[in-house]
Amino acid sequence: MNIGEAAARSGVPAKTIRYYEEIALIDSADRSANGYRAYSEEDVHTLRFIARARSLGFTVAQCRDLLALYRDRERSSADVKAIAESHIGEIDEKIAGLKAMRETLALLTRKCHGDERPDCPIIEELAAPSAANAKTN
């Protein structure tokens, strides 16, 4: 099948498929006599695997590791679990960071009068030097 059909069947855009080939996340497709890329059902399955992993937030590097483990029938499930647990830790850090951002923004919006006056705690906070910059200055 051509790249358009592989894209449609896998849910991965053709441009992304080309990128995955470029960075060697997937093998480059064989070329047909007319020079077009020719993809197999196995290629589509691999693309779906990557798409699902990416939808769970795994990085390209983590996808590479997961693919290697998927292809290794002698793998230890502990290796797969370790990657997933590490990723959960990364997600938890992001959630904590987002919660902190939300709390800060909520506090600033409560302080802002939201009227016609020009003074605004939100703008003042955005314009203020950060704590890290204040220590170096």
The C-alpha angle with vertex 123 and arms to 120 and 127, in degrees rounded to 5, equals 135
User: Which tens digits make up the pLDDT trace of 100-131?
Assistant: 999 999 999 999 998 998 889 899 999 999 75
- Among all chains, which residue has been given the structure tokens 């910059």? 133
User: Which tens digits make up the pLDDT trace of 52-81?
Assistant: 999 999 999 999 999 999 999 999 999 999
pLDDT > 60? residue 132: no
User: Which tens digits make up the pLDDT trace of 43-59?
Assistant: 999 999 999 999 999 99
How many percent of the chain have pLDDT more than 70? Answer: 95
- Structural domain boundaries of the chain? 1-73, 76-137
Other residues' Cβ atoms within 10 Å of the Cβ of residue 20: 19
Question: Residue 26 corresponds to which tokens in the numbers above?
Answer: 């997937």
Question: Which positions ≥6 away from 90 have C-beta within 8 Å?
Answer: 57
Question: Residue 64 corresponds to which tokens in the numbers above?
Answer: 């590479």
Mean pLDDT of the chain: 92
pLDDT > 80? residue 7: yes
Q: Measure the CA–CA gap between 13 and 11, rounded to whole angstroms.
A: 6
Q: Domain 1-73's class?
A: mainly alpha
